[in-house]
Structure 1
Amino acid sequence: MTIWDWMKRRSKQQRKKQQQPRVADSYLDQAPEELLTSNLEETIQFVTDLLGSSEDFTLRRLHVFGEHPAVMFYMSNMNDKSTMNTDILKPLMYTPDHLVGKPIPLDKLRDILLYETLYFNKVASITKRSVLIEQILRGGTVVVVEGLSEAIGLDTAQVEKRAIQHPDTEQVIRGPREGFIEQLGTNISLLRYRLPTTDFHVKTMQIGRITKSKVAICYLKGIANDALVSEVEKRLSVIDIDGVLDVGYLEQYIEDNHHSPFPQTQNTERTDKAVANMLEGRVIILVDGSPFALIVPTVFSQFYQTAEDYSERYLMVSFIRVARLLALAFSLVTPSLYVAIISFNPELIPTEFAVAVSGGRAGVPFPSAVEVLIMEASMEVLREATIRLPQQIGGALSIVGVLVIGQAAVSAGFVSPITVVVIALTTIGSFATPAYNAALALRLLRFPLIFLAGMFGLYGVMVGLILIANHMLSLKSFGVPYITPLVPGSFQGMKDTLFRAPLWSMKKRPSMLHTPNDTRVGKQVFDALKEPPVNTLDPIKVGNRKEHMDHGISSPDHGDSSSGDSH
């Protein structure tokens, strides 16, 4: 055999290997086009061979109208038994009054069952074996009649679900109290309830070779850019994995930079937040089985904004946003600045404060960098333990960890009191960041900054911050620069970043989304705001009633007692 023949044989074997089924023993992938036959026993044998070993699989034989042999397939734990008995079995087994005593030809039986007998709004005719199996696996009911080459599928799935409640991960003081749940149909209905418009479109696809999870792409036609919607569909359509158990699986496949610590998609449990982003021109991705929604595209400023920011007046919200950004800065740079100043630039500390710091650090056996790293690692472990423990004891552990362990560490001389204060400020700052995944990125970046500060002092801190800023400038989310509207600059976008301008002044949608319709505030609003307010109930105009005495309308010189009434 020549080398050329060996290479051709090898290439042929590789192609044959690639053509093999991706999932072993998966009928739905191996034979998706096989058709049903009119032989009832053959269909029963086919279904029982695939599903008969499952305890919850049910096969119920019957005679349609007392004369046509038939069978009903369903999963017993995914259907309501009273509905099965009342709305399926009873109509099938009893002949309708207008057909009693009349012969029912076999070629008319299918139409009679679909349009005159079964009390279901979601009824479909099934011709393929793979569709029949999938209907059963998804909780539906399939009826097969002897002599008919088409089965009847009924959407009878009824799975227990939790009630709609306030999202635990996004608490607000003022705002709606409803959040997404695991059922996709319920989540879409929550969006539809807030968007009663024909422009609200939903596109669905199936992802996951085994789980076959239903994924929904929700957007507003005419507001969301069509190219963005197409790009979202394209990125989702190429995902080929065994299963999708949460929307986070999709997030890791569709983001632009897979190695960045910063999230390039935003997730939310809040329906009002999802709707608000759709009104700006973004796309929402939902997955059946996940209570979270993905928002794309995303910029960094969204991660320190909350849904409550738009329910309160702009002056109060702007102050709170500045506080959040200060907390964000504290959580990122405070430990590294402390290490740099203590180790390299103590002359920057005021004299009185330097004496107090040096006294607190007396007897500590570790350098400041090692000391801070030990405390940071301890806080991360404590935070993770608090999250994973049951709620009843998680709060107690956090209090014990912060008070008892911190005080014991200071008393034992392992750390200085000022270090405990620095770590406390850092931890509180990370808790003030609304988005958990963005706070997690900042927690991760603290450690390389501490290393740079311990080796190079303030120069190392500045180099680290420059590298972080450069990385953020290079990031994009579906083509949108991550630091928008700062870079590139946008005057309209600046109204909703560090400060929040009044709602009536934000008349345009974000320009970075290139929406077909960028106007969201009508011109008549500005005309109305230019007019002076009408004080309809001004006491000077309508009079006043006091102590059961009527006061008339005051005259212009009402301060002069001689010109008014005396009482």
Structure 2
Amino acid sequence: MLFMNQNRKSNKPAAASVPNQALETYKDVKIDGLLENTIAFFNGILGDSDDFVHRRFHVFGRYHAVMFYYSNMIEQGTINTEILKPFMYVPAHLEGKDIGIDRLKDILLNDSLYHSEGKLEWRLNELVEGLLRGQTVVAVDGLDEAFLIGTRSIDKRGIEQPATEQVIRGPRDGFIEPLGSNIALIRYRLQTADLRVTTMEIGRRTKSKVAVCRMEGITDPDLVKEVNRRLHNIDIDAVMDSGYLEQFLEDNHLSPFPQVQYTERPDKVVANLLEGRVAILVDGSPLALVVPTVFNQFYQTVEDYTERFLLMSSIRLARLVALLFSLVLPALYVAIISFNPELIPTEFAVAVAGGRAGVPFPAVVEVLIIEVSMEVLREATIRLPQQVGGALSIVGVLVIGQAAVAAGFASPISVVIIALTTIGSFATPAYNAALALRLLRFPLIIMAGMFGLYGIMVGLILITNHLLSLKSFGVPYLSPLVPVDAQGLKDLLIRGPLWSLQKRPSFLHPQEKTKLNSSTVDELQNPQHNVLEPTNGNKKKGE
């Protein structure tokens, strides 16, 4: 027996303690065609599991065979009607004819098997990995190849609107865990032959399937090669979520700012693919990764493009103001109260001084205590069950805040400042970008407490310098602002009208740069044909 001899050479038992290491022993080892040896091999390599089933039967009532599968990963009806029954009964057009062992393999595959995902496989390690993925293996005594049939059927949740990226106007569907469903959602919106999807397996134990999506003729081939290179260099035990890959793909591992964007929205992935980016999906994760990433992507939403540009430009500016609030407002308050109270109007300064009367802490300590308490409360609200979390947030904000002011522990103006800061962080669409700003808020507060406004300016200069040094797959993080791109500036602070966004972002180096035909722009610039104008004399009266 060939695979038994291979086992003796390696001095490893069939049931090794580490399954994937045991599979390496049998890499490219061929099945020998002896049914009992095959059964012994699979039972030895996969161990004693109650959900692992091997079912003996007779092919055409004559040849001994066995079927292997994991009962919790398949659809039992498919096994019975599309595999077991066709293998046991002779096809109608072959009844009464002698079917020898030399013709059996071809007849079973081309005449009997009622399943489109069926193939022959001779490598033992590939058969075992197929079983672990939810496929079914059928081995027949005397055949040197086994049938590997795709029967995977795992329960999944329904497609619903993403909880973290809700919109008022836009699609309501979001990614779910199975990779095949997520790719189907992308193809549903991108019905073109230019969409390319390549898959690979990452994770020595999990064998997680990873899909890399790109647009042929748009995406820069060098970007695709670099993405594949970084993915192939990942040698890890398990990949449980796309977040594992994100930490290996980013350029600067010490930066608080995210250099890879993630999203649950298929329409957002499609929009990025059409710009020339690459999307990465992981089987078992509802979050897709998009690379390369620039900073302005984190305060943009899908609604910025589904609504009219005047309205959404004003909302985007409000979002940017909220972003600045969440970063510098507490530090600015500490600096003015501690070092430059003359900047406050007289009437307001009297009110602030009256509110701070009796507070035992300096402004920087007071703000840090309230800020830390707010972060703890926010984390507790997220982790608690949904029915309890809402009540806790109301109790924390109203009762504890009011009690702290009444007890002289904090001033009313400090509570207002922290509340505005928290609301500003909630207005940032991307959670990971808001988290980076929440982290940087604390060193800014400390520098403001030590050096006043000078400390804030030094802190902002350091943050800006860090942002200028960041790159995502070679793309400057502050593109298209630095370096300046005239076309990209139309979609930076405000969102220009769709007819003005004729080119794809130049910093992505797309192969096809134009996305809007110039004839459409010319038509928009011409006077409209008001065919129903009341003063139009071209129509006869009463017509």
TM-score by length of 2: 0.95
| 2:231 counterpart SS class | helix
What is residue 467 of structure 2 aligned with on the other side? 472
CA contact (8 A) 2:20 2:205 kept: no
CA RMSD of aligned residues (A): 1.5
Cα distance change on mapping 1:508 and 1:22 into 2, 3 Å: farther
Q: Counterparts of 1:407-422 in structure 2 under 5 Å?
A: 407-422=402-417
Name the amino acid aligned to 2:96. Answer: G
What aligned pairs does 1:154-553 form with structure 2 within 5 A after superposition? 154-541=149-536
Q: Could you tell me which residue of structure 1 aligns to residue 49 of structure 2?
A: 54
Please list every run of at least 4 consecutive aligned residues from structure 1 whose deviation after the TM superposition is greater than 6 angstroms.
550-553
Other structure's SS at 2:66 match: strand
**Take 1:388 and 1:542, find their aligned partners in 2: how far apart are those partners?**
69
For residues 6-52 of structure 1, the C-alpha deviation after alignment (integer angstroms, 9 at most, x for no partner) is xxxxxxxxxxxxxxx99676322333222111111000000011224
Q: Does 1:41 align with 2:36?
A: yes
Deviations 1:121-158 (A, max 9, x none): 11111101101111111111110000001000100000
1:114 aligned onto 2:109: yes
Q: Choose the corresponding residue for 1:66, options 54, 61, 85.
A: 61
Aligned to 1:442, the other structure's residue is in SS state helix
Q: Which runs of 5+ in 2 are unaligned?
A: 1-15
CA distance in 2, matches of 1:147, 1:551: 89
One-letter code aligned to 2:477: Y
Of stretches 500-509 and 95-104 in structure 1, the one that deviates more from structure 2 is: 95-104
Contact 2:269 2:279 in 1 (8 A): yes
Q: How far does residue 96 in structure 1 lie from its aligned partner after superposition?
A: 1.1
Equivalent position SS for 2:256: coil
State the secondary structure of the residue aligned to 1:278. helix
Secondary structure at the residue paired with 1:190? helix
* Alpha-carbon distance in 2 for matches of 1:52, 1:439: 47
* Secondary structure at 1:193 match in 2: helix
Rounded Cα–Cα distance in structure 1 between residues aligned with 2:405 and 2:286? 43
Does the Cα contact within 8 Å between 2:19 and 2:45 map onto a contact in 1?
no
- State the alpha-carbon separation in 2 of the partners of residues 31 and 367 from structure 1: 69
1:198 is paired with a residue whose SS is coil
For residues 241 and 252 of structure 1, what CA distance do their matches in structure 2 show?
12
The CA deviation at 1:82 is 1.3
Describe the superposition over 1:439-471 as per-residue Cα deviations: whole angstroms up to 9, x where unpaired.
000000000000100111111010000000000
* Alpha-carbon distance in 2 for matches of 1:543, 1:413: 79
1:137 and 1:42 mapped to 2: Cα distance? 20
CA contact (8 A) 2:60 2:88 kept: yes
Aligned twin of 1:8: none
Structure 1 residue 257: Cα displacement: 0.1
State the shift of 1:290 in Å: 0.2
Supply the AA of the counterpart residue of 1:66: G
TM-score (norm 1): 0.91
Match of 1:132 among 127, 132, 136: 127
The Cα shift of 1:526 comes to 1.7
Aligned length: 528
Secondary structure (helix, strand or coil) at the match of 1:58 reads strand
- In the alignment, structure 1 segments of 5+ residues that lack a partner are 1-20, 545-549, 554-567
Q: Partners of 1:285 and 1:525 in 2: how far apart?
A: 33
What is the DSSP-based 3-state SS (H/G/I as helix, E as strand, rest coil) of the residue aligned with 1:206? strand
Classify the secondary structure of the residue corresponding to 1:539: coil
Q: Percent identity?
A: 65
Residue 197 of structure 1 and its aligned partner are, at CA, apart by: 1.1
User: 1:523, CA displacement in angstroms?
Assistant: 1.4
2:176–2:182 CA contact under 8 A, matched in 1: yes
Contact 2:137–2:148, Cα closer than 8 Å, also in 1: yes
